[in-house]
Chains A and B, each alone.
Chain A
Amino acid sequence: DAGVTQSPTHLIKTRGQQVTLRCSPKSGHDTVSWYQQALGQGPQFIFQYYEEEERQRGNFPDRFSGHQFPNYSSELNVNALLLGDSALYLCASSLEWSYNEQFFGPGTRLTVL
């Protein structure tokens, strides 16, 4: 049974560019949450998708957007990249839009130059 997978593993972009990160949830899970972890900090909640809709959002600007597909996989898009967007982006999946345990993927390391 495959766990949560994320792609790519690493990514280097320049300021002003756009990036798309991908996440496939654990088998049987229908909810995907995204977190940003800056160096030396705890992860910060970006948003959560359930039934192909954004259910809740953290304190992130509109440059951060997402999508969930019918197969429950998800994408995180960041436009107009800033140096401060450099971070580890973590995807977590869970069952139903509730406080069920979240399972994390290995993350995507984004570096903005």
Chain B
Amino acid sequence: KQEVTQIPAALSVPEGENLVLNCSFTDSAIYNLQWFRQDPGKGLTSLLLIQSSQREQTSGRLNASLDKSSGRSTLYIAASQPGDSATYLCAVYSNTGKLIFGQGTTLQVKP
């Protein structure tokens, strides 16, 4: 059974700091992996989708990497801003399109 874990559960950093969010999964036979952002009480905003044949994706200040053999993905946020404060969710795709989510990392960026 696939399980997805995100560490840390919560993180507080000063503005301008670079940071890394971690995601691990127990079964390396995944297809795509996707990172989402969720603001309080809101739905999911897709940040980056990494296909199984890729090792990383970049969008602006965000970079996500995928290492299937070790069962890990990281989301790197450069030069963090208060507007980056949100919960970040990692999810892996099974071969049938079922998404399995981690519990999320709640990030607070202090001005």
A-side residues, CB < 8 A to B, are: 31, 33, 35, 40-45, 48, 55-56, 58, 88, 90, 92, 94, 97-107, 109
Chain A residues within 8 Å of B98, by CB: 33, 45, 48, 56, 58
B19 within 8 A of partner (CB): no
Chain B residues within 8 Å of A107, by CB: 42-43
Chain A residues within 8 Å of B104, by CB: 42
Chain A residues within 8 Å of B74, by CB: none
Task: Please name the 4 residue pairs, one residue from A and one from B, whose CB atoms are nearest each other, closest first.
Answer: A42-B101, A99-B31, A106-B43, A99-B93
B97 touches which one: A35, A42, A48, A106 (CB < 8 A)? A48
Contact A99 B43, CB 8 Å, known A41-B103, A42-B102, A44-B101: no
B96 touches which one: A41, A44, A98 (CB < 8 A)? A98
B-side residues, CB < 8 A to A, are: 4, 31-32, 34, 36, 41-44, 46, 49, 89, 91, 93-104
In the complex, how many angstroms separate the beta carbon of B94 from the nearest chain A beta carbon? Answer: 7
Chain B residues within 8 Å of A40, by CB: 103
The 16 sampled A-B contact pairs (Cβ below 8 Å) are: A40-B103, A42-B89, A42-B91, A42-B102, A42-B103, A43-B91, A43-B101, A56-B96, A56-B98, A58-B98, A88-B41, A98-B97, A99-B97, A106-B43, A107-B42, A107-B43
Chain B residues within 8 Å of A100, by CB: 97
Q: Which residue of B lies closest to A43 (CB)?
A: B101
Q: Which residue of A lies closest to B96 (CB)?
A: A56
